[in-house]
């Protein structure tokens, strides 16, 4: 069999892949466990809704004294070269980088008090338990919930599956309706497909408007007394759209439906208050909010969690075990079978301390400025198509852009940017295949920002992208 490649494919296959990663010799690690090395000592804020205590200097927006410039030194991974170029990390919607404070919290757990949590009476177990439960309280404070309403999971995907298998299988029956959108992450679609198949419930999807935003008008029209659950993202990981969840949740409650909010792309970037939203469930993921991988959380209203059966069986989730039956612990223990990700949860708590000390409103304001800068400059590049709504006075986009370049595959774009310029972006379907099909594409490239990114990062990305486009168009 003879295989052939197009000129484009042949070109990208011939690019040198330099695997060496060089540490920047000019980088000095401050070894700080918090932000206290700055010009003055600031009290730690517990609530994300508290006023910012992290003053910007010089330029309050994107200049040398911006939030990105100030916090950058707290992230050791950013101070290195990739393939001979200074790293520009723009893949934050996939995972965020970790500040020194988080890395040290993990190291401290394993070096100083590694032990299993709960039930142990010795010092190490008591210390580990205190820190683990303190992390739960930090998550609760961060989103304005009660500690007993926070369940630690492996990730947001597991949190959604917990609701699907525990609440969904117990409460849904034939003819009941689950409403979601075509723009959801696969983790908010597949579990409900499985539940619908098992229960006979009907899964309905909301389409996009002409502005490429989930159509909340259509959603309001299809809500009915048959609707038992609404599952929606707060911020789209591909379209960058921000949905009015307070209104949407109110509409769902008016017909007696429960609501699950996928907050993976909102909790790390803005103030999220579950009491103000009045949502029934909300999920988040540590690794997207500067915390470790391997841990996420489910928020559920206490009265709903108390009526849900266990998701997994084993140690910790029981009250008493007999040979013929078992009784179960109260939430959250009921839903945390087995040894949890102790160090990871503690690391998440350290990440929340870090974010709270900056102030989530300040993070959000800075990212909106930087996100607008990214959108404006990316949209000015020839042959680039950006997906999602155009920003305006009334339409706010999250700080990310999914895009395609005419006649250039997004994976080729991402590969060239990485190998030739040290710029890290994402390519693929971003776990949103139905959305991509609706848009008439199979994949896209995505550049996504966090507060430690700077205007310089965006400028380097845009120049690198132009060079990438020039390279591929030279084969035409």
Question: Of 275, 222, 208, 273, whose CA–CA distance to 252 is shortest?
Answer: 222
CA distance linking residue 181 with residue 434, whole number of Å: 10
CB 431 within 8 A of CB 187: yes
158 CB-near residues (< 8 Å, 6+ apart): 296
CA distance linking residue 390 with residue 428, whole number of Å: 22
The shares of helix, strand and coil residues in the chain, as percent rounded to the nearest 5, are 40, 15, 45
CA distance linking residue 414 with residue 454, whole number of Å: 20
Question: Of 327, 265, 469, whose CA–CA distance to 385 is shortest?
Answer: 469
Task: Please tell me whether residue 89 adopts helix, strand or coil conformation.
Answer: strand
320, with CB counted inside 10 A (0-12, 13-18, 19+), is: exposed
Residue pointed to by tokens 């007696």: 256
DSSP string, 145-208: --GGGEEEESSHHHHHHHIIIIIIHHH--TT-EEEEETT--GGGTHHHHHHHHHH--EEEEE-B
**316 Cα distance to chain centroid:** 28
CA distance linking residue 216 with residue 278, whole number of Å: 18
Output the CA torsion 62→63→64→68 (10° steps): 0
CA distance linking residue 197 with residue 203, whole number of Å: 9
Known catalytic membership, residue 22: no
Identify whether 332 is preceded by a cis peptide bond (ω within 30 of 0): yes
Question: Of 228, 220, 219, 222, whose CA–CA distance to 176 is shortest?
Answer: 228
Beta strand 202-206 pairing with 227-233:
unpaired
SS (H, E, C) 398-415: CCEEEEEECCECHHHHHH
Active site residues: 431
């Amino acid at each position: 069999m003879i295989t052939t490649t197009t000129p484009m494919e042949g070109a990208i296959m011939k690019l040198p892949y330099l695997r060496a990663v060089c540490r920047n010799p000019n980088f000095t690690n401050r070894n700080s466990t918090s932000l206290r090395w700055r010009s003055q000592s600031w009290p730690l804020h517990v609530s994300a809704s508290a006023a910012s205590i992290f003053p910007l200097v010089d330029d309050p927006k994107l200049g040398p004294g911006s939030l990105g410039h100030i916090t950058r030194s707290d992230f050791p991974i950013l101070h290195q070269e990739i393939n001979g170029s200074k790293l520009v990390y723009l893949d934050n919607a996939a995972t965020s980088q970790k500040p020194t404070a988080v890395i040290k919290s993990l190291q401290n757990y394993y070096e100083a008090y590694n032990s299993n949590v709960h039930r142990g009476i010795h010092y190490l177990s008591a210390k580990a338990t205190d820190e683990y439960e303190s992390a739960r309280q930090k998550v609760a404070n961060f989103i304005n919930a009660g500690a007993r309403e926070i369940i630690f999971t492996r990730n947001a995907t597991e949190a959604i599956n917990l609701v699907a298998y525990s609440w969904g299988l117990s409460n849904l029956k034939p003819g009941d309706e689950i409403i979601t959108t075509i723009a959801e992450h696969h983790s908010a679609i597949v579990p409900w497909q499985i539940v619908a198949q098992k229960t006979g419930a009907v899964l309905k999807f909301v389409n996009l408007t002409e502005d490429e935003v989930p159509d909340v008008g259509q959603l309001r029209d299809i809500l009915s007394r048959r609707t038992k659950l609404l599952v929606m993202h707060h911020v789209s990981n591909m379209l960058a759209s921000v949905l009015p969840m307070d209104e949407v949740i109110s509409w769902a409650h008016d017909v007696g439906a429960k609501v699950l909010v996928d907050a993976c792309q909102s909790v790390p970037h803005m103030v999220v208050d579950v009491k103000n939203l009045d949502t029934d469930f909300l999920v988040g993921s540590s690794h997207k909010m500067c915390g470790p991988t391997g841990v996420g959380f489910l928020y559920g209203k206490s009265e709903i969690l108390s009526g849900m059966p266990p998701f997994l069986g084993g140690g910790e989730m029981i009250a008493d075990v007999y040979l013929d039956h078992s009784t179960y612990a109260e939430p959250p223990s009921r839903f945390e079978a087995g040894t949890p990700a102790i160090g990871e949860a503690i690391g998440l708590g350290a990440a929340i301390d870090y974010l709270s000390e900056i102030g989530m409103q300040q993070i959000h304001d800075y990212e909106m400025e930087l996100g607008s800068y990214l959108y404006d400059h990316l949209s000015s590049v020839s042959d680039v198509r950006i997906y999602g709504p155009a920003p305006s006075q009334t339409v706010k986009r999250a700080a990310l852009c999914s895009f395609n370049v005419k006649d250039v595959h997004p994976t080729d774009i991402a590969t060239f940017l990485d190998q030739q310029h040290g710029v890290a972006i994402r390519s693929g379907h971003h776990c949103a295949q139905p959305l991509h099909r609706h848009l008439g594409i199979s994949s896209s490239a995505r550049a996504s920002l966090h507060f430690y990114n700077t205007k310089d990062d965006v400028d380097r990305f845009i120049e690198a992208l132009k060079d990438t486009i020039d390279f591929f168009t030279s084969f035409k």
